[in-house]
Amino acid sequence: MKSALLLLTAMLLVSCSDTSTQPARPAGHLVVYVFWDGAGLADRQIKIVETGETKYTDEDGLAAFDLKPGTYVLRAYVNSGGPPLYYDQQVEIAPGEETRVDIVDCLTCD
């Protein structure tokens, strides 16, 4: 009886140690394009509010982020009519997919 109980306990421990884990969901890729009058604008600050990650657009007006799937607020420091402040947009990042956001920076707006 004692050996049967030991065998049952050992089988239970082995079956419990075989935990199946979900594979990590691949990151999504966010590409932000800041432009005016058909041309990309360099050196525009782009921030992901939730993570604090900040990048600046390159000479083509692009900034890219790799993010875990989820919902984020994208903050772009651009002029959209009035004093230059920032523009917030909510973005949804899907696993393994690219999300593109186009933002107009009005160079002639005051």
Cα(5)–Cα(37) distance, integer angstroms? 78
Q: What is the pLDDT of residue 103?
A: 95
Which fold is adopted by the domain 23-104? Answer: Immunoglobulin-like (2.60.40)
pLDDT bucket at 109, cuts 50 / 70 / 90: confident
Segment holding 89, helix H or strand E = strand 87-93
The model's pLDDT over 15-36, given as tens digits with 9 standing for 90+, comes to 555 556 777 779 999 999 999 9
Q: What is the average pLDDT score of the chain?
A: 85
Would you list the domain boundaries of the chain? Answer: 23-104
Cα(55)–Cα(5) distance, integer angstroms? 61
Region for 105 from its dihedrals, namely left if φ exceeds 0, alpha if ψ lies in -120 to 50, beta otherwise:
beta
Which of the two residues, 79 and 58, has the higher pLDDT score?
58
